[in-house]
Amino acid sequence: MIKQSPYLPKQMNGPVVNSVMQALDSRLEDADFIENYLHGLSINTAEETELENIGRLIGYVRPIVPEAFNAENLFVFGDVPIQNDPEIGFATAGGSVGGVFSAAGSSVGSYMSLGTYRKFLDKVAYIKRYGLTLKSVDAIAALVSTDYEIQFTENGDIEIIYGGNIGYRNLWILSQLFNRVATVPQVLITIGEEE
């Protein structure tokens, strides 16, 4: 016996019309599985591949953090920190360009850890939905440390001033993230003096 389709009014209650609706319904069963899968998908519970695909949809692809930002004994020249090596120093002078940095090789880097990416992706999704607000800047700043202040610069940019060292890796992650999501106003990261 073919049951009455819930999508038809009660006046259309016959075996032919209900058979047609049942056939149409069976063609959409695959779509139901996909709908249920997507409904249950979450940034907090997604596996690595799923999380990276969510990041692509949001517009924050899982970044590759340069290896140079993982070291602790660093000097920063421009964009890349240079390893301080007591035997060879950190640079050799000469040439027409003014110098060659000996430890600034082309290190590839590694993906941001999955847990860190999950935390940041959640906040980037918030920014994509609601825009760049002080609340969203505060939420991202708090992921790294709770010792910070948020101020406005003379140019109207937002400045996050951390009270202590947050590490080169976190500094790089924050800088890259805010460069992606904030153009006007810009979000600047500053490390204050440790007390």
pLDDT in tens, 60-107: 898 887 766 655 545 555 544 444 444 444 444 434 444 444 444 445
Q: What pLDDT is stored for residue 100 in this prediction?
A: 46
pLDDT reported for residue 162 = 92
Answer with the residue of higher pLDDT: 39 or 30: 39
**Has residue 183 got a pLDDT over 50?**
yes
Q: What is the pLDDT of residue 63?
A: 85
pLDDT (average), residues 174-191: 86
| Per-residue three-class SS string for the chain | CCCCCCCCCCCCCCHHHHHHHHHHHHHCHHHHHHHHHHHHCCCCCCCHHHHHHHHHHHCCCCCEECHHHHCCCEEEECCEEEECECCCECCECCCCCCCECCCCCCCCCEECCHHHHHHHHHHHHHHHHHCCCHHHHHHHHHHHCCCEEEEECCCCCEEEEECCCCCHHHHHHHHHHHHHHCCCCCEEEEECCCC
Quick one: pLDDT at residue 108? Answer: 61
Record the pTM: 0.62
Instruction: Return the pLDDT at 49.
Output: 92
pLDDT in tens, 98-156: 444 444 444 566 788 888 899 999 999 998 888 888 999 999 999 989 999 999 999 89
CA 92 to CA 78: how far, in whole Å? 16
Q: Is residue 15 in some structural domain?
A: yes
Residue 28 confidence class, pLDDT cut points 50, 70, 90: confident
Mean pLDDT of 48-66: 88
Give me the domain span that covers residue 12: 1-40
Q: What percent of the chain has pLDDT over 90?
A: 20
Distance separating alpha carbons of residues 80 and 77, to the nearest angstrom: 6
Average pLDDT over residues 21-44: 84
Residue 57 in this model has a pLDDT that exceeds 80: yes
What's the structural domain count of the chain?
A: 1
Answer yes or no: is 130 within a domain.
no
pLDDT of residue 193: 65
Residue 22 lies in a domain: yes
Is residue 94 domain-resident?
Answer: no
> Whole-number mean pLDDT of the chain?
78
Query: Are the beta carbons of 180 and 60 closer than 8 angstroms?
Result: yes
Per-residue pLDDT band for 14 (boundaries 50, 70, 90) equals: confident
Residue 160 located in a structural domain: no
